[in-house]
Amino acid sequence: MKNRNMSAVRNFIRYMLLAFGTIVFTLPMIYMISTSLRPNGALYEYPPRFFPRIEALTLENYDYILSQSKFYLNFLNSAAVSVITIVLAAAIGSAMAFVLGRFKSGASSLLFGFIIITMIIPGTTMIVPQFELATKLNLVNKLFGLIPFYVSWVIPFSTFMIKGFMENIPNEIMEASWIDGADVLTVYARIALPLASPAIASVSIFNFLTAWEEYPWANTVINDNSRRTLPIAIAGFFGQHQFTQWGYVFAMSVLTLIPVVLIFVFCQKFFVEGLAAGGVKG
Amino acid sequence: MSRIWKRFALILALVLVLTAGAGLAEPVTINFWHHYSAQSAENETLMNVLIPAFEAENPDIRINAVSHEWAELHDKILVSANSGALPDVARCDIAWLPEFQKMGILVALDETMPDFEEVSERLLPSAMSTSRIGGHVYALALNTNSKIVFYNTAMLEAAGVSVPATLEEWAETVRRLSGENANGQQIWGWNEPALAGWNICPFIWSFGGTLLSDDQTKATGYLNSPETVKAVETFAKLVKDGCITGFNSGDIPMTDGFGTGRYAMMLEGPWKSAELAGAYPDVAYGTALMPAGTGGSISVLGGEDIAMFHTANQAAAWKFMQFMTGEFAETEMARCGQIPVNRAALESDVVKDADYAPFIAAIETAKARPTVAAWSEMDNGLQNAMTAIVSGEISAQSALDELASQWDELLK
Amino acid sequence: MLNRTNRLQILGLLMPGLTVFLMFTVYPIVRLFWMSLCDMSFSSMLSQPFAGLMNYREVFADRTFWTVFVNSIVYTLVTVPGQMVLGLFVAVLLNGIRHFSVTFRVINYLPVITSWVIASLVFRYIFNTEGLLNYFLWKVLHVTGGNIRWLDTRWSGLAVAMILGIWKGIGWNMVIFLAALQQVPQDLYEAADIDGCGSFGKFLHVTLPGIRGTILFALIELTIGGFNVFTSIKMITGGKPAHHTDTLLTWMYYKAFSTGRFGYAAALSFVMALTLGFMAVGQFRMMRLRDS
């Protein structure tokens, strides 16, 4: 009896703590949305308000952003770069993972170790030589010049994650195909790829996020407005000298977040599984 | 899973089609970089009036205008010089030209353009002098400006002070205006949005101080002279006493602070009128010249030139530069607060109605920042030194002594 | 099984990945090292005279380098444990409840998927001197006697970036720790029950050892992430005042792309990569030592 009461109390505390944490967690996002819904003139009102006055609610910031053709272009740029990046990374990463995971030898583990070691160096550290490389390859100020660099950044992690899945494919399935006389490519395409598709999906979601929100590199190599991706466009809004229209900034931010949140909510399962697999194994 | 892949393929195909469509190249494209703010009236005019007009006149030329933030434009040009991605034409702060010229990325217009004399004669000689470096001319003057005092009429009245004419009055007025408003919010007598040469020079010069020797080769003895130190100390004291702000990351932006009555005065350029009219039409303000000290009333000379880079398509770029400095473009830009340098545009009704008189008076006595190749780096050193001084980390004298010897090195 | 065709096919499968890896990752690393030994700047981009250790000497003699180095270390030392402890705490709570688990998980994960640019701007807005937070602390809660100038001084500016870092990182830690917790064998808890362990004792003696691998993984990943902080600093303080709030990467970026000192920037990057390498090896060793 006493025990049951104890556990009820404990449960109650757990829910309370979680609810409190969740509220604190979401405050910044709610404030962003609430700011995007008020006119610019209300930004310095006194006293400041967390929620805008109901009668002052306005969609004018969204109207403005959505009336700019630039926004659609930036959106399309981000989408194109992200989608091509994840497709290439999935193809290249899964092929690498298949070979490294299924054909073990001294050379392959050496290569894998080498790939993992480079993961220690944060991406932005290499921005100077990579910029020089982009210059030599004539990829500066080219939207699709972003892609090879993004792919190279996500490949080690993608390979690492997919390799774990490849290794877990039961040997019998593989053996059976070898006996049937299938060659390596067939086994990769017909057996390994479909079986590893959950891992590939989860990795692809991560890669999408990486490419969608990438800022330092894109900001360095892209000049033209028409080639800018969303993060640079948002930062550009903000950077204007001495006159920040927060309403526009946050309206654009909300619009940028919508696809990501949708993808996350609908693919939540893959997302969490992928992360968990990496963390538990590592 | 296959559903997801199919969707990927669909999106991919869509993207490819769209980009292929965008890739159908035709006429010459001139890349034009500038630092008109993306939401400004200037940018609207550029994108919706000037460029369409130019492209209609020159159907074989397309203009790709790119907006950067001021400091970023400078960095982007330097970096692009090395990556071979320079624009054809850029609107450059007059303070940058010596640096770009030294890097060898600008085209000497007087040498390459046969009709250069004819074109440059349409522009004011004083403004054109900003683009002459070592015997050649590297740009066309585009607009000129200087800064004058903007003051909030109601706030001055409420505090019972008049518009300061001398620097002593200025310090006193700034002090009197600072304090709290009815809501208990802090208000500041003066706003200064940064601590760079553009911001600090008017004080140094008006206090009778200098930055460099007349031949611009030495800083020691000038930058750390008693007059310069006194100017900086006076400014720093007011910051410390909570009378000047604006240069901190957390401060209210200048226009918003002035528009909402939190900053009583500021030193700003002609574009501010258009900005205030757009965002805070109700605020009543007046203007006055920079308060005078022993050095006189010396504001800082600003302005932009339009320059061509050596990688440019010269014929098309030259056409665009002529257009931008021509009467039509200069008159249109004058409507947004850009003071023209084209003689014909200066005669137009737009300019006469705009009342640039206070700015023109300021320009007459204003000084230019040092025209040396290392200016950007020196300016950055000045900002760091000023930051240390106003935060009380170091005395003005020792900070400026140290900075002067750094500058001497850079000037060698 | 591995005849000529198959060997070729294996090579073919490896080739794209290897090419990208060698070209865009390995080559830049090698090039970075070489650049750090050359006198490279805007004016000498074409001729790059070998300069020995000049850049390294300059880095170590630079006062600002030490400021930003300490900033990066402090950022990492605060945000890594901060994220892990809070993330683990949320994971333990979530592990103990039956309803709404997915809802809480999704909401707590939202900051992770919010881009750095957006999150940084939101925090800048909240923490601005005239912002909502200061009003709340001063006029509603009366815990401060005035507006705190969060963004204007070295430590408070960094503190905002650190709070953002922790806020954004808890969700990630929560998910991986939650997965790890579910893998701890249930019978170990039952055994601990029999030994009369309290819940805290169980956490200490069963849970923590059980998720050690995940802790190490998180530790290394987050340390790398801590040194990789860039966008938030650039957006929130921009390194102001006078580079006091810059971190290694923002300072490196400034040196490279605003002053053109590519050699200096390369040397700085290399020092940073080495520091991280040593830290990772150290963390690995520490965990291994505990094992034995």
Q: Give CA torsion, residues C136, C139, C140, C145, to 10 deg.
A: 90
Q: In whole angstroms, what is the distance from residue A133 CA to residue C35 CA?
A: 12
Distance from CA of B116 to the nearest CA of C (A): 29
Give C57's pLDDT tier (boundaries 50, 70, 90).
very high
Q: What is the pLDDT of residue A282?
A: 43
Residue C277: which H helix or E strand, with range?
A: helix C262-291
Residue B141: which H helix or E strand, with range?
A: strand B139-146
Is the Cα dihedral C29, C31, C37, C40 positive or negative?
negative
Distance from CA of A28 to the nearest CA of C (A): 7
Query: Over its length of 412 residues, how does chain B's per-residue pLDDT go in tens digits?
Result: 455 555 555 555 555 555 444 444 468 999 999 998 777 888 889 999 999 999 999 999 999 999 888 888 998 998 888 777 899 999 999 999 999 998 889 999 999 999 999 999 999 988 898 899 988 999 999 999 999 999 999 999 999 999 999 999 999 999 999 999 888 889 999 999 999 999 999 999 999 999 999 999 999 999 999 999 999 999 999 999 999 999 998 898 898 899 999 999 999 998 888 888 888 899 999 999 999 999 999 999 999 999 999 999 999 999 999 999 999 999 999 988 899 999 999 888 888 877 788 898 899 899 999 999 999 999 999 999 999 999 999 999 999 999 999 999 999 8
Q: What is the pLDDT of residue A183?
A: 87
Distance from CA of B18 to the nearest CA of A (A): 9
Distance from CA of B238 to the nearest CA of C (A): 17
Q: Which residues pair with B66 in a beta bridge?
A: B33
Q: What is the pLDDT of residue A175?
A: 81
pLDDT, greater one: B285 or C4: B285
Q: What is the pLDDT of residue B292?
A: 96
pLDDT digits (tens, 9 = 90+) for C69-83: 999 999 999 999 999
Two tokens, residue C64: 């600002």
Q: Structure pTM? A: 0.90
Q: What is the pLDDT of residue A278?
A: 62
Residue of A nearest to B246 (CA): A242
Of A32, A129, A212, the CB nearest to C28: A129
**Amino acid letter, residue B28:** V
Q: In whole angstroms, what is the distance from residue C126 CA to residue A122 CA?
A: 29
Q: What is the pLDDT of residue A239?
A: 53
CB contact under 8 A, C152 and B249: yes
Q: What is the pLDDT of residue C199?
A: 81
**Strand B148-152 vs strand B263-268: parallel, antiparallel, or unpaired?**
antiparallel
Q: Which residues of C63-96 are buried (b: 16+ CB within 10 A; e: fewer)?
A: ebbebbbebbbbbbebbbebbbebbbbbbbbbbb
Two tokens, residue C188: 């170990």
Closest CA to A175 of A93, A102, A99, A97: A102
Q: In whole angstroms, what is the distance from residue C72 CA to residue C78 CA?
A: 10
Q: What is the pLDDT of residue A238?
A: 66
Which chain B residues are within 8 Å of C243, Cβ to Cβ?
384
pLDDT of C38 above 60: yes
Q: Are B384 and B393 in contact (CB under 8 A)?
A: no
Residue with tokens 């199919």: B6
Helices (H), C138-247: 154-183, 186-194, 199-202, 208-210, 212-227, 231-236
Q: In whole angstroms, what is the distance from residue B411 CA to residue A220 CA?
A: 29
Classify domain C62-260 at the CATH topology level: MetI-like fold (1.10.3720)
pLDDT digits (tens, 9 = 90+) for C119-148: 999 999 999 888 889 999 998 898 888 889
Sequence ranges of the domains in chain C: 62-260
From the CB of residue B213, how many other CB atoms can be counted at a distance below 10 Å? Answer: 14
CB contact under 8 A, A48 and C23: no
CB contact under 8 A, B384 and C260: no
CB contact under 8 A, B252 and C150: no
Of A44, A224, A243, the CB nearest to B37: A243
Residues of chain A predicted below pLDDT 50: 1, 241, 282
Q: In whole angstroms, what is the distance from residue B176 CA to residue B189 CA?
A: 7
Q: Give CA torsion, residues A26, A29, A30, A34, to 10 deg.
A: 170
Distances (CA, A) of B134 to B98, B130, B370: 9, 11, 15
Phi, psi (degrees; rounded to nearest 5) at B244: -125, 135
Q: In whole angstroms, what is the distance from residue A177 CA to residue A190 CA?
A: 10
Q: In whole numbers, what is the pLDDT of chain C averaged over residues?
A: 89
Listed by number, the residues of chain A in 118-147 with a beta carbon closer than 8 Å to a beta carbon of chain B are 131, 134-135, 138, 140-141, 143-144
> Which domains are delineated in chain B?
27-146+301-368 (3.40.190.10), 148-300+371-411 (3.40.190.10)
Q: What is the pLDDT of residue A46?
A: 78
Two tokens, residue C183: 């893998």
Angle at B252 between CA C134 and CA A40, to 5 degrees: 95
The ipTM is 0.90
